[in-house]
Amino acid sequence: MTLVVGKDMETVLVDYNNEEVEEIANALEQFTTDNTPHLYEEVMSVKMEGFDDDFLCSVFDYLVGHESEAKAFLDKSTKHRKSCLQKFSQG
């Protein structure tokens, strides 16, 4: 038993074997890996909207490292993607 802020709480050990943890890690890695080419295509498709290649590559690199923002970008309409990119270009 562990005493926490005046309350008795039983410590529960969770038994995960390496196979289960590895399975979860592989699923997360595959999810990220599978979406990267799609993300690249979607970011680069905005090139026609007046953004240059170098800028869009920088945006892509940023989004690859920020998964939640990448998901949000992909869910937005073209109009809202443009607005997002304009804000990104301003710093």
Distance CA 54, CA 44 (A): 10
Give the mean model confidence (pLDDT) for residues 14-32: 69
Distance set, CA 16 to CA 11, 20, 23, 53, 62 (Å) = 16, 6, 11, 46, 33
How much is the pLDDT for 59?
94
Structure-token pair, residue 84:
């997002």
Closest CA to 82 of 71, 73, 69: 73
CB neighbourhood size of 24 (10 A): 10
How much is the pLDDT for 41?
92
More confident residue, 29 or 6: 29
- Give the model confidence (pLDDT) of 36-82 as tens digits: 888 999 999 887 678 899 999 999 999 999 989 999 999 999 899 99
